Amino acid sequence: MSSPSAAELAARVRRGEVTATSVLEEHLARVAAREPEVHAFCLVTEDLARAQAAEVDRRVAAGVDPGPLAGVPVALKDLLCTKGIPTTCCSRILAGWRPPYDATVVRRLAAAGAVMVGKTNMDEFAMGSSTEHSAFGPTRNPRDLSRVPGGSSGGSAAAVAAGFAPLALGSDTGGSVRQPAALCGVVGAKPTYGLVSRFGLVAFASSLDQVGPFAANVADAALALDVISGHDEADSTSLPGEPPKASAKLGLGVEGVRVGVIAELAEAEGIAPDVARRLREAADALASAGAKVEEISVPALRYALSAYYLIAPAEASSNLARYDGVRYGLREQRADMTETYIATRSAGFGPEVKRRVMLGTYALSAGYYDAYYGKAQKVRTLIIRGFEEAYRSCDVLLSPTSPTTAFALGAKTADPLSMYMSDICTIPSNLAGHPAVSVPFGTGDDGLPVGAQVLAPALGEAEMFQVAAALERLAPAPAPATGAER
């Protein structure tokens, strides 16, 4: 079923051709029809959405422009703070917590006229690659209900893929926007670190986390990023100055653009043959469209996964220390404070969060800091330098997004290392702080979506989306729906 793009919907609402209320009700009807089987949301905010849509309609009737996302339904990952609305990170330890403020990106969406339809399911505290580690249960891939949607932002990806909302926001710490976008057959982008405010984003790993958009097409993803990006005084890591316009070069094509296919990622361990084949087809399509395509090597990327799984858990260990049962969230009262801490954290955190907190605590402990965390940070520097060298001869880089298409529910939950390998192609951009986007490019042998990843240097969003838009135009037609898709 083909639906209008977010940009088209907003334009029609702004012209008064349709009402924001009618657009919302159409999407809520889709949620009612399929949400029980997909489980993209942990909370559907119907009353709030109807109030916001009514306000957009009031502004249109009064001759006031509601903004570039007028009346567009948007789904938000449940680690973005929403004033007075539960924000749980899909963890028992934050059950029922209602933030006293909105995240900056939530405020910017509202100022642009967007309508919030709900908070989406996710891996607990964004730790996972399949949206199976949630206190609310797993999300299913709308393309095939027996498969995972990816993670940790799987609920947001599934919401867009199922047509519940034209746009959604997720967070990307090691690929948590791009990997589920690839598995669900939608567009997902991670911006340059600092381009989008992290104020009101519940932290996993503060030097890696970034908020990014999901959309059904490249232009909508660029539009959403333009709305949420920009300096924020409330975030000390926010970049100063005017942000680059992600949508500035969407229609320019790729004539003369230098594209490097990253050998270490294209040939990485675990890359499925059908995914590798689609990547070669994507590179060939860009070359046929006038791009200058070459294979390029960034040797330090071989160590990215190992470095990430020391740095990210170490930062998580520090960030999650605040959940102690004293100030907010779950409290398991015991005889003294030490026992209360232990009981609260034991009951409140799931197995994957506990695993990463313990790993991070170990990496930061006396006698091990230099051997593990310190060495991982040195590898991170090597990766940044490797990318710098690559971008001397290339404008953008190309790789698979995910090593495989969507895998079966339960297939990797008992094997953490296998699950971690799902992010082997996406992690390097987070370590470097660079932008990257996943674009659907055909399907695998199982008929499920394959994502091609376009990487760019810091603040290279315009060029990144330029190439992504070309890939979207050049992509083969989608395969027929599987029996589980509706």
pLDDT tens track for 140-164: 999 999 999 999 999 999 999 999 9
Report the distance separating Cα 248 and Cα 251, nearest Å. 8
Nearest alpha carbon to residue 35 among 113, 178, 137? 137
Name the region of 44 (left: φ>0; alpha: ψ -120 to 50; beta: rest): beta
Q: Which two tokens stand for residue 51?
A: 């109030």
2 given a catalytic annotation: no
77 given a catalytic annotation: yes
One of 176, 247, 317, 438 is an active-site residue; which one?
176
pTM for this entry = 0.96
Strand order in the sheet with 449-455: 41-44, 115-120, 73-77, 167-172, 210-215, 187-190, 436-443, 449-455, 396-400, 258-262, 292-296
Dihedral pair phi/psi, residue 254, rounded to 5°: -125, 15
Q: What pLDDT, on a 0 to 100 scale, did the predictor assign at position 479?
A: 60
User: In the chain, which residues have pLDDT < 50?
Assistant: 1, 481-486
pLDDT tens track for 222-246: 999 999 999 999 999 999 999 999 9
Q: What pLDDT, on a 0 to 100 scale, did the predictor assign at position 2?
A: 66
Q: What pLDDT, on a 0 to 100 scale, did the predictor assign at position 480?
A: 56
Q: What percent of the chain has pLDDT over 90?
A: 94
Domain locations in the chain as residue ranges: 302-377
Report the distance separating Cα 479 and Cα 468, nearest Å. 20
Half-sphere exposure of 431 (CA within 13 A, CB side): 32
Distance of CA 437 to the CA centre of its chain: 10
One of 5, 77, 129, 134 is an active-site residue; which one?
77
Nearest alpha carbon to residue 244 among 298, 307, 195, 193? 195
One of 130, 134, 152, 153 is an active-site residue; which one?
152
